[in-house]
Amino acid sequence: MFEMATEILLITEAKSSDTKSFYKCNTPLYRCVKSAFEMQFGNFETDIDFLAFFEEIKCKIEYLVTEEIDRKDMTIRNKQRSENVDSLSKRLRTHRPKCIIIIMKDIEKFVLMAIERAKLSEVLFIKSVPFPAMSERNRINCELGIAEILKDYVLGH
């Protein structure tokens, strides 16, 4: 089956845990992304409504690292990031995104390597925003950054 290309792909470092995930609507990332989409597209009555809209406009979440990541040891963490560049590059070829939003400045170089290796034919719209953790400023900058990217991207297409 030939899958429709992903319009907007949000790439973050790794899944939260087995109990918390974007699609379970119970992570800071989910709340931040939903809030950013509401700034651009208006309020969603329920999480189910938001996820349905997210899917309808061909948005997806992807992770640089697909297994559990070591969040304490930066040496191991960077090694995991680096080791997953090829895997992400293969997944990017499957998604064929038109717009990529990298959510976490620290993973930007790894994601850019994966994008380069994927040799995607479309001209991409690529932007980075901070991950919505560690400070209120990061959360706000992530939210506003995504909202701004959505506005720029949607207006341009």
- Domains in the chain (CATH in brackets) are 8-156 (3.40.470.10)
Q: What is the mean pLDDT of residues 133-139?
A: 92
pLDDT tens sequence across 104-120: 999 999 999 999 999 98
Q: What is the mean pLDDT of residues 7-29?
A: 91
- Kindly report the pTM of this predicted structure: 0.92
- Look at residue 2 and tell me whether its pLDDT is greater than 80: no
Q: Is the dihedral of CA 17, 93, 51, 108 positive or negative?
A: positive
CA–CA gap between residue 150 and residue 10 (Å, rounded): 11
The confidence score (pLDDT) of residue 1 equals 44
